[in-house]
Amino acid sequence: MPRAAETRQSISYLTRRFKEVGIEPNARHGQNFLVDLNLLRLLADSAELTRDDVVLEIGTGTGSLTALLAARAAAVVTVEVDRRMYSLASEELIDYPNVTMLLQDALANKNTLHPAVLAAVRRELDAGPNRRFKLVANLPYNIATPIVTNLLAEEHPPESMTVTVQKEVADRMLAAPGTKDYGALSIWVQSQCRVEILRVLPPQVFWPKPKVHSAFVKLAFDPALRARIADLAFFHQFVRAMFLHRRKLLRGVLVSAYKEQLGKSGVDVLLARVGLPETARAEELDVAAMLKLSEAVRAAIG
């Protein structure tokens, strides 16, 4: 039987093991390790994995969560950018043949996932019938938003994403119109997923302790929600553009973004057509209203 790597995710074990191999947590890579084993298992349980699932994990760390996932899923593709951590995790995961470890950045750039990561996932999905794609990860804080955002831009996004993120990021994903946390991320996620915050995590359940609270969040992809989006790439770009200056009137933002195609008079006509006043702001529009406005703009500019 594979060794229970997850039972070693404690402060005492990590400090001793890191000392043995001469490494320290790297803040630049967002390395904060979840050291409450019950929470680690809760994250894995919440993903509801089966033997049909191919799991993508971003941030292998010591391999403790990876081991839990590998015991439940068909395959795990796990990505680690830190060479020293990759070497340490390789030793812990040597007995798990269904784990593919990648030593690289998960992102090609801020707006694009690395093709090698997607290719590795695709190989595992193609290896058996009825396989499903899921993301399960303690996401490094510095890349959590682009990972989730870019996966939702894919033609075939994960069926679910069960991840650890900063509490403020979780709040933004779940935020309602008119609140301080509502923005482009809220609309982009809610336009395709059902969102749930599973648990709020205090700093002391991590080592080293972060300066902020965290949260387990689950995004369940809903094909019926995505079907409302006529042009996914356009809608993604449109939503980000509308929130570049969130306090400005929507009319001014639209004029600035599409002055060559619409002009002021064209924007006024378009707002009237979708039933929005000239005093409307992007932060006041719910997902349905933003979808309606986006499609009207897309039709108007051809």
Q: What would the pLDDT profile of 189-227 be if each residue is shown by its tens digit?
A: 999 999 999 999 999 999 889 999 999 999 999 999 999
CATH of the domain at 108: 3.40.50.150
CA proximity to 235, closest of 181, 295, 165:
295
When pLDDT is averaged across residues 295-301 and rounded to a whole number, the result is 96
Bridge partners of 138, per DSSP, are 164
Q: For the stretch 253-269, what's the b/e string if a residue is b when 16 or more beta carbons lie within 10 angstroms of its beta carbon?
A: bbbebbeeebeeebbee
Residue 136 CA: distances (Å) to CA of 48, 155, 173: 10, 19, 17
Q: Same structural domain for residues 110 and 247?
A: no
Residue 92 sits in the same domain as residue 160: yes
- Contact between 61 and 84 (Cβ < 8 Å): no
On the question of pLDDT at 1 being above 70, the answer is no
> At 280, which CATH number?
1.10.8.100
Which one-letter DSSP state was computed for residue 284?
Answer: G
Question: For all residues of the chain together, what is the average pLDDT?
Answer: 93
Total tally of structural domains belonging to the chain: 2
- The 3-state DSSP class for residue 276 equals coil
Task: Identify the domain containing residue 267 by its residue range.
Answer: 232-301
Using a cut of 0.85, tell me whether the model's pTM lies above it. Answer: yes
| Region 227-249 average pLDDT | 95
Same domain, 245 and 161: no
Taking the C-alpha atoms of residue 77 and residue 56, their distance in angstroms, rounded to an integer, is 5
In a 13 Å sphere around the CA of 160, the CA atoms on its Cβ side amount to 18
Classify residue 59 as left (phi > 0), alpha (psi -120 to 50) or beta. left
**Residues 192 and 260 grouped into a single domain:** no
CA atoms of 251 and 281, how far apart (whole Å):
8
Domain boundary among 183, 206, 224: 224
Domain final position from 224, 244, 263: 224
Q: Are 284 and 217 in a shared domain?
A: no
**Residue where a domain stops, chosen among 224, 241, 270:** 224
Domain co-membership, 218 together with 114: yes
